[in-house]
Amino acid sequence: PPPPPPPPATASLDDVAEKLEQMGKIQSGERRVAMTRMRKRIAERLKEAQHTAAILTTFNEVDMSALMNLRSDYKDDFFKKHNVKLGFMSAFVKASAICLQEQPEVNAFIDGGDIVYRDYVDISVAVSTPTGLVVPAIRGCERMGFAEIEKVIFQLGEKARDASLTLEELQGGTFTISNGGVFGSLLSTPIINMPQSAILGMHAIQKRPVVVKDQIVIRPMMYLALSYDHRLIDGREAVTFLRRLKTLIEDPRRLLLNINI
């Protein structure tokens, strides 16, 4: 008969530890890459905001039911009429424009020893691109309707992704809206886009139990964050701004008619 097979090789704990150490040496490493000009500029502006402004953030949450129903009911007709999709950003831009006119401190900025108030609303919208974050501005939002806002957002988004935004489109802006919800963020504290005095952070829509008329119901909710420069804006103005925005979004009739009801 053939000889029996040799017994399986065994390894000591020291052998195993040595092998794992060798594998770690092979797999681990690092590489150094120079920062792009855009990334350097983004870093500079973020540190400028932290070093200059007294940044504070206030929070609220908004029930998106009414706005989602409005979009669901009219998105097809809206597209047929205006040849652009109806999203949520146009509602937040329009609502912010109304709130900024009602709370002019949030739309103002500090210039040396002066406070500069604006009678116009140019809202910068944060757009993520492969090379970094850009914030082109939508001019004259207080005079625009939903369709016009959606068209400008679409055009600026396309130009941002094609890296064809002009310097004029990137400059200015009196207020910024950032939507971390597109990446799944539930809550954040956005940093002010200097020299602006405030920024609104939108977040992911998530079904949560809430109390409505003493009943627990499930509603699609979104957390809102308003970061503001406390040197210029007091807590009263910031909280009033966010509560008014919540009211407009939760009842789009107020938003469309621009009335307090």
Q: Which residue has the tokens 């908004």?
A: 62
Could you tell me the CA-to-CA distances from 191 to 16, 44, 46, 201 in Å, in that order? 49, 12, 7, 9
* Region of 250 on the Ramachandran plot (φ > 0 left; ψ -120 to 50 alpha; else beta): alpha
Active-site option among 73, 76, 77, 234: 234
How many CB atoms within 10 Å of residue 63?
A: 19
Q: Which long-range contacts (CB under 8 A, 24 or more apart) does 1-5 make?
A: none
**Cα–Cα dist 56/11, whole Å:** 59
**Cα–Cα dist 123/142, whole Å:** 10
Active-site option among 76, 82, 230, 251: 230
Contacts of 142 (CB under 8 A, 6+ apart): 97, 98, 100, 101, 120, 121
What is 42-78 written as a DSSP string?
Answer: HHHHHHHHHHHS-EEEEEEEEE-HHHHHHHHHHHHHH
Residue 238 token pair: 């910031």
Amino acid at 186: L
Note if 234 is an active site residue: yes
CA 1 to chain centre: 77
Note if 119 is an active site residue: no
Active site residues: 230, 234
